[in-house]
Amino acid sequence: MSTVIVGEDGLARCPWGLSAPDYVAYHDEEWGRPVRDDEGLYEKLCLEAFQSGLSWLTILRKRDAFRAAFHGFDPEKVASFGPGDVERLMGDASIVRNRAKIEAAVANARAALDLPGGLAATAWKYADPGAPEHADMADMPAYTDGSKALAKELKKHGFTFVGPTTAYALMQACGLVDDHLTGCHRRGAYR
């Protein structure tokens, strides 16, 4: 099923929001809520990159471990990571151990600190509050012109492991677009 589903609490949700118990709170309280600070956006960018090729549920369940391993996703702290830190993280079974993704998190922390105006200001230039509504998950794009432009700008400033699809997932998660389905009780909640 790819249209909204009414839960036991009587609330209509995007179908993924009821597909696992861990998703209910994430869907209702976090996904699509505007994130306007650099640290929050950096965390989401890292987690979206780590999710690439995996289930978001895997990342959500490991999020506390990621936060511990990456010092709360403080870009200044992560930017100071060296080869020994990468090896430490490669040995940490509580996170996703992918060298390219770990090295991207470090490189992206450094790029975020050097980004003129900051990560939040840069990302929010590509917000699309007028994005079309979707009644069915099958109509949801994997990326948009805005996410392609955001990915291109981030790459121009030294970010890695951030293509249009990852950029779009970031935009969805951080409220730059409202991709809750038509009829979902969270659709339009943050406008």
186, 140 Cβ separation under 8 angstroms = no
Q: Is 48 a catalytic residue?
A: yes
Strand partners, 13: 5
Q: Is 26 a catalytic residue?
A: yes
User: In 102-112, which positions are buried (b, 16+ CB within 10 angstroms) versus exposed (e)?
Assistant: bbbbbbbbbbb
Q: Which of 26, 103, 133, 153 is catalytic?
A: 26
Amino acid identity of residue 175, one-letter, is: G
Q: Which of 23, 31, 42, 48 is catalytic?
A: 48
Q: Return the SS3 of 13.
A: strand
Q: Is 16 a catalytic residue?
A: no
Q: Which of 23, 31, 56, 168 is catalytic?
A: 56
Nearest to 168 by CA among 48, 80, 76: 48
Cα(141)–Cα(22) distance, rounded to whole angstroms?
24
Active-site residue set: 26, 48, 56
